[in-house]
A = this chain, B = another copy of it.
Amino acid sequence: MSTVLIEPVARLIEAFARLPGIGPKTAQRLTYHLLRAPDAEARSLAVALIAVRDEVVFCERCFNISDAPLCPICRDPARDASRLCVVEEPLDVLALERTAEFRGLYHVLHGAISPIDGIGPERLKIRELLERADHAARDGEPLAEVILATNPTLEGEATAMYLAERLDGVAGSVTRIARGLPVGGDLEDADEVTLIRALQGRRSIA
């Protein structure tokens, strides 16, 4: 088969297959699609790939992706700089922004603490987060709230616990996003841990 698969096609299949969630079959299909698609389609993807690497940086304050030293959210004077939402990944910022529920600033850790994977606090943007909180306090405008919005996973919880401890006394309040039943979900489908969290987090409604 290797004699049949010509070199440039094999290389593109390999490059696609290296992407997360793209198996060899999908990589083949994408490659053959692009072979026959309008020329502009393949080229615009190539150009967009190069542009993303050449033009995108991380915000020097919150470490979200950005096209300038400060990201659009950090640049926005209408955002409430006294509230910080801490997330693991830039994609989490996008998800939260879609809700339009939070009008403060973010801090992207770029991962979660995971001893098993050898990821300690020093590998994440945790020092930078503590410095942000410290600076705010020293400037006489301490953070009113730090929302810990790391994932509801083992690693995310461990990271939230670690941060809660380190931020204690530096920020006005440190909160954790609620865990419970997903809206539209079915109680009988929920796993036990989620159900326990849903019960523990119950609130009075009358």
- Residue A131 at the chain B interface, CB threshold 8 Å: no
Interchain CA distance A29-B92 in the complex, whole Å: 11
Inter-subunit contact A45/B41 (CB<8 Å): no
- Residue A116 at the chain B interface, CB threshold 8 Å: no
- Residue A28 at the chain B interface, CB threshold 8 Å: yes
The interface size of chain A toward B, counting residues with CB under 8 Å, comes to: 59
Inter-subunit contact A53/B49 (CB<8 Å): no
Known: A55-B8, A56-B35. Contact between A1 and B97, CB under 8 A? yes
Number of copies: 2
Inter-subunit contact B56/A6 (CB<8 Å): yes
Binds B, one of A10-18, A122-130, A162-170, A192-200: A10-18
At the interface, is chain A mostly helix, strand, loop or mixed?
helix
Find chain B residues with CB under 8 A from A15 CB: 41, 44-45, 48-49
A136 to chain B, nearest CB (A): 22
**In A36-55, which residues have CB < 8 Å from any B CB?**
36, 39, 41-53, 55
Interchain CA distance A36-B108 in the complex, whole Å: 13
Find chain B residues with CB under 8 A from A4 CB: 72-73, 93-94, 97
Inter-subunit contact B56/A50 (CB<8 Å): no
Interchain CA distance A8-B55 in the complex, whole Å: 7
Closest 8 CB pairs of A and B: A12-B48, A46-B49, A15-B45, A46-B46, A6-B67, A8-B51, A15-B48, A8-B55
Seen from chain A, the residues whose Cβ lies within 8 Å of a Cβ on chain B are: 1, 3-9, 11-12, 14-16, 18-22, 26, 28-36, 39, 41-53, 55-56, 65-67, 71-73, 76, 89-91, 93-94, 97-98, 110
Given contacts A15-B49, A28-B91, 6 further A-B contacts (CB under 8 A): A1-B97, A8-B48, A11-B51, A12-B45, A12-B48, A35-B56
